[in-house]
Amino acid sequence: MVGPIVIESEQSILRKIRQLNWGLMILLILVACVGFTALYSAAGGNFSPWASKQAVRFCVGFVAMIIVALIDVRLWYRLSWAIYAVALVLLVIVELKGRIGMGAQRWIDLGFMQLQPSEVMKVAVVMALARYFHSVTLDDMRSIRVLILPALIVVAPVALVMTQPDLGTSLMIVMASGGMFFIAGASLWLFGGAFALAAASIPVAWHLMHGYQQKRVLTFLNPESDPLGSGYHITQSKIALGSGGIDGKGFLQGTQSHLNFLPEKQTDFIFTLWAEEWGLLGGLVLLSLFGLIFMYALWISSRCRHNYGRYLALGLGINFSLYIITNISMVMGLIPVVGVPLPMVSYGGTAMLTVLIGFGLMMSCNVYRDSKVTRV
């Protein structure tokens, strides 16, 4: 009896491994390689201190992604509330005794790494909303009463993240959640009312902003007003982007980055470094890889036969795309500088791990796309 059971179990595992999205994983590896190359260049042609650590983080995250993908999506459904609650508690811990860096209190020191709970919350919110909307019909979405709980799911972490302060992450959580409300069938008048309320609250929000946040907005409107002060980052970014031309200056030949004119070249402004060295063509190649990854998210969502998988895969895809849109718009001067990393390219541990775990959840939706997810 033992033999056949073991063989059947092994066959089941092999079948699940074959059902993993290998094309998606190849795309993720290619994007990560772009990050390793850019970080190698940012260090002046050296794997230390950024590229080598980023490679280790990616390998750990990649293994975690595969493990998450092989776990039955029904387990993730049952754990969605618990994961959201843990992320919320972590945000409270940050508020009480988080580590302060660059003027913000966003990290928890775990000894072996600096954990940024707001990055974890980006995935946790999507999981919680996917679970809630799984059992909600289109008719239910017309009721304000039904929308109160998911609204609170969004408002609670946003309020905590705003106190850190981290405006960029707060807006990303709101926009990703808004996307999930839309795909779940929320009425358009609800979005119109939200936009009207947001517009009306701009004067209040302005007075609640910290001084440096107000300065970022003013700099965005007129970066030339203080080119050596608050406008320095975006001015140097635009110079670097423009100087890259069509085909770039060449690997390790970026003058703005290697002469240290470009700040935060390993994190927030790494796309600028990449575009300076590889030009418009290199930037388009990277954007094409990102676009193909998002198409995989749409494909996985469309194949799921249960609402939880559809909402989870598409919500995670929206969350991933917001990283890219926000970061690249920021370095091009289209929006104020808000400190959002470019996923799997910018140097950083928590963002790398949470993004890869998010893709693991997405692939779990595909592997178990035919499972019957019932409300518990």
Rounded Cα distance between 191 and 300, Å, is 26
Altogether, the residues listed in the chain come to a count of 376
Is 54 within the bounds of a domain? yes
Q: Is the residue at 372 inside a domain?
A: no
Residues 169-188 have pLDDT tens digits of: 898 999 999 999 999 988 88
Q: How many CB atoms lie within 10 A of CB 64?
A: 14
Asked if residue 357 lies in contact with residue 65, where contact means CB atoms within 8 angstroms, the answer is yes
- How many angstroms separate the CA atoms of 22 and 253, rounded? 34
Q: pTM for this one?
A: 0.89
Enter the DSSP assignment of 82.
Answer: H
The pLDDT of residue 226: 65
Q: 34 lies in a domain?
A: yes
**Which amino acid appears at position 248 of this protein?**
G
Render pLDDT for 192-218 as a digit per residue (tens, 0 to 9): 887 787 777 777 766 666 676 677 777
In a domain, 331, yes or no: yes
Tokens of 63: 């293994």
> Is residue 232 in a domain?
yes
Is 373 part of a structural domain of the chain?
Answer: no
Q: Are 35 and 50 in contact (CB under 8 A)?
A: no
Q: How many domains does the chain have?
A: 1
In this prediction, residue 229 carries a pLDDT of 66
Domain membership of residue 328 as a residue range: 2-367
Judge whether 376 lies within some domain: no
What is the spatial distance between Cα 48 and Cα 42, in angstroms, rounded to a whole number?
A: 10
Please tell me whether residue 50 adopts helix, strand or coil conformation.
Answer: coil
List the alpha helices (DSSP H) in the chain.
Answer: 2-18, 22-42, 51-70, 73-97, 117-134, 144-162, 167-184, 188-200, 202-208, 211-221, 232-244, 255-258, 270-303, 307-331, 350-367
Residue 232: the pLDDT is: 82
Give the pairing of strands 99-101 and 114-115.
unpaired
pLDDT digits (tens, 9 = 90+) for 35-50: 999 999 999 999 999 9
Say yes or no to pLDDT of 1 above 60: no
Assess if residue 59 is contained within a domain: yes
